[in-house]
Amino acid sequence: MRILAALVSTLLLVAPASAQRFEDEYKGQAHGPVTLGHVEVGQELAEKAEDYGQREIDRLVSEVEDDLTQHLSHANLFDAQSGWVLNVVLEDATPNRPTMEQLSATPGLSAQSFSLGGAELRAELIDPEGQVVAQYRYSWQSRDITDAQTATTWSDARRTISRFADQVAESLSEHSAS
């Protein structure tokens, strides 16, 4: 009975972490492959750049670009010459461990420190005429501090970015008319 109670308790703690979902909204039909436009940093994350370090933010933007290109390519939905453009905003990100900038700016802060991490992203699909055809949004943050003990600096943010890229590719696959 205790084992069953412990299992149910664990499932209740884990369930909210996966409850945050991907949202997509289509205002028209998407056609064929897309190209990745610009990946911007949202105001909330930009305000944290001094604290996290600009190099860390640049790495996250690069991760968004790489993951989206990879997932879209894998789904045969990427074409650098396409008139359909996917513009992305990395709204926010929270590290699991202190960044190098935080460690150097805060005496006594340990690289062994850990916390809940995650990220928030949104994107718009623009058609060749410049109209927004679809919008995408995803945010996720770890809910269990025990998971963060083994995490690297940006583990949860990277997990969120990868999930976002996968979901955008899957959504485009379902809604594209080739």
Render pLDDT for 42-68 as a digit per residue (tens, 0 to 9): 999 999 999 999 999 999 999 999 999
Kindly tell me the burial class for residue 22, based on how many C-beta atoms sit within 10 Å of its own C-beta (0-12, 13-18, 19 or more).
middle
Total domain count for the chain? Answer: 1
Render pLDDT for 3-20 as a digit per residue (tens, 0 to 9): 433 333 443 344 444 447
Q: What is the pLDDT of residue 147?
A: 67
pTM of the model: 0.85
pLDDT at 28 over 60: yes
Band (178; pLDDT cuts 50, 70, 90): low
Question: Domain with 73 in it: what CATH number?
Answer: 3.40.50
Q: Residue 73 belongs to what domain range? A: 21-175
Render pLDDT for 108-163 as a digit per residue (tens, 0 to 9): 878 888 788 999 999 999 999 999 999 999 999 988 777 666 678 888 999 999 99
- How far apart, in whole angstroms, are the C-alpha atoms of residue 36 and residue 119? 20
> Which run of H or of E encompasses 35?
strand 35-41
Residue 40 lies in a domain: yes
Residue 7 lies in a domain: no
Residue 6 lies in a domain: no
